[in-house]
Each structure stands twice: as structure tokens, then as C-alpha cells.
Amino acid sequence: MKQLSKTAVLTLLLLLCLATGAQQHKTVLPKTGLIARPMASGGGSCTLSVCNTVNFAWQEAAYPSCPATSPANCISGFVLTDTTTNTVLAGGASTTPLGPTTHSFAWTPAGGLYYGTHTFSLVATGYDGSGAPTQSPAATTMFTNNLSTLAAPTGFSTTGN
């Protein structure tokens, strides 16, 4: 009986140890607290109809930056996406990189800012405790650029028959 309870305790300890070990490898990076606000070219406030930039900011992630070799339990950077148009704005393969110590990004779209409401998401990318790539849940924010005027149509002409 004494031997049986000793085996049970040992089994329990082994299971506990395994569970703890597994948890160490299941790192989920925290949300970042993304916010967006308008900014006129050159900084400062602006009337929304003339805004051409959206300024994003987010909180510092509670993980260290990844080292060059054997990264684990760390952040390698961020990816910012316009989920309304499904376009990566920064941090993607062919866009401006967002390193682990970067906590803001000013987005000035070529051709001018959209009108209406867009939703944006930010995820932190990094590596879990076992060194496998992982990412945080998406932090989201919305930004509305209100329309106040419309430009006239172009190229209007008439030809008689």
C-alpha cells in the first residue's frame, strides 16, 4: 500500500513536470494596444478632409527582442495590416520593417488617404519557448476619414452627330 501511494505521488509529480514543461513552450505573445490618429503632413493636428497620414502607436510588448541566434521567448517585430483592403502597410516582406523596439508608424498612402472607415490590425511576431515562430493575437483599431466635399467629374465633352 505504501509502495502504491509512492508510485502515485511520483506519477503525479511527473505529470505536473510535463505540464509545466509544455507550458514553457506555448508562448503566446501579448496584445499590443494599437491606436490610430490622423496627422497632417509635417505633424500636428489637421482637418480630416485634408489629412494625408494616419499615425499608429502601440504599447511596448512584454518580451525581450530576439537575439540573432537561437531565438526563444522573444519578439522579432510587428506587422501592421489594413484589414479593410487586406494590405500589409508595414512589417511585411516588401514593406517598411517594424522592429521589436518600434512602437509607432506614420502611414502616408501614395495618392492620398482613403475616405470612410478602415480597420487596422497589429500583431507581434516572435518565437516561443521551443524556438518555433509564433505571433500575438491581433490588436485592432479603426480610423475614419470623413468626406466633406466631392471633386467635379473630369473630361466632360460633347460631340454632335
Residues making contact with other proteins (CB under 8 A): 48, 111-117, 144-161
Residue 19 Ramachandran class (φ > 0 left, ψ -120 to 50 alpha, else beta): alpha
Rounded to a whole number of angstroms, the minimum distance from the CB of residue 40 to other proteins is 17
Q: By C-beta, is 125 or 141 nearer to other proteins?
A: 141
Q: By C-beta, is 52 or 102 nearer to other proteins?
A: 52
Rounded to a whole number of angstroms, the minimum distance from the CB of residue 43 to other proteins is 22
Query: 3-state SS string over 94-116?
Result: CCCCCCCCCCEEEECCCCCCCCE
Q: By C-beta, is 79 or 118 nearer to other proteins?
A: 118
Rounded to a whole number of angstroms, the minimum distance from the CB of residue 114 to other proteins is 6
CA angle 118, 123, 125 (to 5 degrees): 155
Distances (CA, A) of 30 to 67, 93, 137: 19, 22, 7
Distances (CA, A) of 3 to 8, 17, 78, 79: 9, 21, 54, 56
Rounded to a whole number of angstroms, the minimum distance from the CB of residue 154 to other proteins is 5
Element (H, E) at 125: strand 116-127
Q: By C-beta, is 3 or 158 nearer to other proteins?
A: 158
Rounded to a whole number of angstroms, the minimum distance from the CB of residue 65 to other proteins is 37
Q: By C-beta, is 2 or 153 nearer to other proteins?
A: 153
